[in-house]
Structure formats: structure tokens, C-alpha cells
């Protein structure tokens, strides 16, 4: 998935931990995420500010007996 830092933060805002967190706690987490991403060349080395976020989906299948 190609994202910018802002789009990643927007996406994280839809996750349950962000929705139930206190605003100050959530903002602190976002600040830590932004600070970390600012150190990664993947996020600032691109001319359009986009970087690849690999996503992995695990699927479990169960059969009722």
C-alpha cells in the first residue's frame, strides 16, 4: 500500500486503540509515530512523499464438525 505519513496517521485513526484512547494519549502516540517515520529514508526520500507500507493478512479457516 502506498501512503504518505498523513494518510497513515489517518488510517491509524480508524483503529480501535485510537478510537478509545484519550485525545492526549492518542496525540502522543501519533507524535511518536511521526518522529519514528521522520528517521526512515523510505518516508522522506521519495519526491512525492509516498512510501510502501507492506500489509500482511492472516486468514484462519475453521470447519464445524
CB 11 within 8 A of CB 3: yes
pLDDT of residue 45: 78
* pLDDT tens digits in sequence order for the chain, 65 residues long: 899 999 999 999 999 999 999 999 999 999 999 999 999 888 877 788 899 999 889 999 999 98
What's the confidence (pLDDT) of residue 6? 94
Q: What is the model's pLDDT at position 48?
A: 85
Supply 45's cell numbers: 526520500
Query: Cα–Cα–Cα angle for 46, 33, 58, nearest 5°?
Result: 85
CB 33 within 8 A of CB 4: no
pTM: 0.76
Amino acid at each position: 500500500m502506498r501512503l504518505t505519513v498523513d494518510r497513515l496517521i489517518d488510517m491509524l485513526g480508524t483503529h480501535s486503540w485510537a478510537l478509545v484512547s484519550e485525545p492526549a494519549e492518542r496525540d502522543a502516540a501519533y507524535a511518536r509515530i511521526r518522529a519514528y517515520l521522520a528517521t526512515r529514508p523510505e518516508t522522506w526520500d521519495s519526491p512525492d512523499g509516498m512510501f510502501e507500507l507492506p500489509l500482511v493478512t492472516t486468514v484462519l479457516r475453521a470447519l464445524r464438525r
